[in-house]
Amino acid sequence: MNKAITLALTGASGAPYALRLLQCLVQADYRVYLLASSAARVVLKTEQQQDWPGSPKALSAYLCHQYGAKEGQIIACGKEEWFSPVASGSAAPKQMVVCPCSMGTVSAIANGASDNLLERAADVVIKERGQLILVPRESPFSAIHLENMLKLARLGVTIMPAAPGFYHEPKSIEDLVDFMVARILDHLGVEHALTSRWGYANA
Ligand SMILES: Cc1cc2nc3c(=O)[nH]c(=O)nc-3n(C[C@H](O)[C@H](O)[C@H](O)COP(=O)(O)O)c2cc1C
């Protein structure tokens, strides 16, 4: 485990993307610092019937077991855990994905709120000029949402909306989820075989 990444879940719809991404990152031998907002937990319950343990320690153990991760490979952090490595440019992973990303969190990040560990971690990645990927979901987008995303895109943040394509002829929800997760992994530079690539094979 010599690669580390921060994966943050917020309260937008799309929990299955986050869970599949977590699984792929564990399989790719990443150490994953995991942050989940209170609203993300509500969405997880609603969409995936998953009730995650409240304490970061219990959540880390639960997820390590769930995903067959090594001990210490998934490190869940509390929202006011200011001494977590992700809170400082001297220790934070250079890559972070917020998936799914609510419009509330888009706004907080765009405005540098840093009011909880998740927002602070994103702020750190931006200031350290690391790689921050947001996977927003809302429909329609308001001008507020679009302005916030434009501001972030201009700062070098990758805005990758949860908008799977249909040209690979998906047969299941899992296929649609994998389409998005494959694109995220591509941007992170993580090898995968989730989907075939665009080209003559699709013609
Ligand atoms: C089931 C459910 C689905 C939601 N879907 C979205 C969504 O797709 N996009 C969004 O921006 N907010 C959505 N919300 C609202 C956010 O969860 C809410 O604005 C929350 O304050 C976001 O907080 P967070 O950014 O700290 O996670 C949803 C809420 C629930 C309960």
**Which tokens is 97 given?**
């994905």
Residue for token digits 């075989």? 193
What pTM does this model have? 0.97
The number of the ligand 1 atom at minimal distance from the alpha carbon of 42 is 31
Place of tokens 């937008």: 12
Residue 130 alpha carbon to ligand 1 centre in Å: 26
Residue partners of 1: CB distance under 8 A and separation at least 6 = 29, 30, 31, 70, 73
CB of residue 186 inside a 6 A radius of ligand 1: no
13 domain residue, yes or no: yes
Q: Residue 37: inside a domain, yes or no?
A: yes
CA 168 – CA 39 distance, rounded (Å): 32
In a domain, 201, yes or no: no
- Give the count of domains, the chain: 1
pLDDT tens digits, 114-136: 999 999 999 999 999 999 999 99
* Domain boundaries, position 115: 4-188
**Binding site membership of 107 for ligand 1 (Cβ less than 6 Å):** no
The domain that contains 181 carries what CATH number? 3.40.50.1950
What would the pLDDT profile of 19-54 be if each residue is shown by its tens digit? 999 999 999 999 999 999 999 999 999 999 999 999
Q: How confident is the model at residue 1 (pLDDT cuts 50, 70, 90)?
A: confident
Alpha-carbon distance of 113 to 137, in angstroms, equals 20
Q: How far apart (Å, rounded) are the C-alpha atoms in residues 87 and 107?
A: 19
